[in-house]
């Protein structure tokens, strides 16, 4: 097999060996003092590499959990819209409130989950008819969910143990290393909790008598 190295030199295949992960073709470059060139044989990679080590059930549980977090982000964005749209302002505050409202809606469309939680909290506290008795608890749970969501979405999943549990390689901005093994039972628990948080956010709007945006349930339509 012939190949060309980065220096443009023609190289001749020397041997092939099989790694636990992939087969590598080893070639010698004809120029003196050059490094040996190795190229991954992609045709020899396991099916669905690099996710082949985990069972399909694991990836299904992970996908459903990540999908539920996506739903939670959408719900928070709609709740921010509903709360900010139905907040009453004095005449002197209308112009400045409108400018802030426009920026808030833009963030609701583009911000990640953590920022949405902050904007949602502000919107609830500003609304004169909103119930805030359990807001501190709800916001605290949302922030906890944000941290685990970041691990699940951005972690690099390592080889599972004998029980199918895997530790995702993830370091947060404070350089804290995540070191807990995650299995299907854990993922299903997180998925249920994210769904419960979504319902709690929706309830914070509908309990005031408004119909939640995007839904066809009872309540007064906002638009």
What confidence score (pLDDT) does residue 10 get? 41
Q: What percent of the chain has pLDDT over 90?
A: 58
Structure letter (DSSP) for residue 171: B
Q: Which of 168, 198, 182 minimizes the C-alpha distance to 75?
A: 198
DSSP line for 88-140: ---GGGHHHHHHHHHHHHHHHHH--HHHHHHHHHHHHHH-TT---TTHHHHHH
What confidence score (pLDDT) does residue 12 get? 43
What confidence score (pLDDT) does residue 59 get? 97
Spatial separation of the C-alpha atoms in residues 219 and 208, rounded to whole Å: 9
What confidence score (pLDDT) does residue 14 get? 44
Contact 26, 17 (CB under 8 A): yes
Question: What are the φ/ψ torsions at residue 154 (nearest 5 degrees)?
Answer: -115, -5
pLDDT digit string, tens, across residues 61-98: 999 999 999 999 999 999 999 998 887 765 666 556 65
Q: What is the pTM of this model?
A: 0.77
pLDDT digit string, tens, across residues 165-214: 999 999 999 999 999 999 999 999 999 999 999 999 999 999 999 999 88
Size of the chain, expressed as the number of residues it contains? 223
């Amino acid at each position: 097999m012939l190949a060309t190295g980065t220096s443009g030199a023609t190289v001749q295949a020397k041997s092939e060996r099989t790694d636990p992960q992939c087969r590598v073709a080893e070639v010698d470059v004809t120029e003196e003092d050059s490094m040996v060139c190795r190229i991954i044989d992609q045709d020899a990679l396991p099916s669905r590499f690099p996710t082949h080590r985990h069972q399909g059930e694991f990836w299904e549980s992970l996908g459903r959990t990540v999908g539920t977090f996506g739903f939670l982000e959408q719900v928070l964005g709609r709740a921010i819209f509903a709360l900010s749209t139905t907040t009453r302002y004095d005449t002197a505050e209308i112009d400045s409130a409108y400018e802030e409202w426009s920026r808030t809606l833009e963030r609701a469309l583009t911000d990640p989950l953590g920022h949405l939680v902050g904007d949602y909290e502000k919107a609830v506290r500003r609304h004169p008819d909103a119930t805030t008795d359990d807001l501190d608890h709800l916001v605290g749970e949302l922030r906890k969910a944000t941290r685990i969501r970041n691990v699940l979405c951005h972690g690099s999943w390592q080889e599972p143990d004998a029980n199918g549990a895997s530790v995702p390689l993830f370091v947060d901005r404070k350089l804290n290393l995540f070191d807990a093994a995650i299995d299907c039972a854990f993922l299903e628990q997180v998925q249920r909790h994210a769904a419960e948080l979504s319902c709690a956010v929706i309830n914070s709007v509908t309990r005031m008598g408004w119909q939640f945006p995007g839904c066809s349930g009872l309540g007064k339509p906002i638009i």
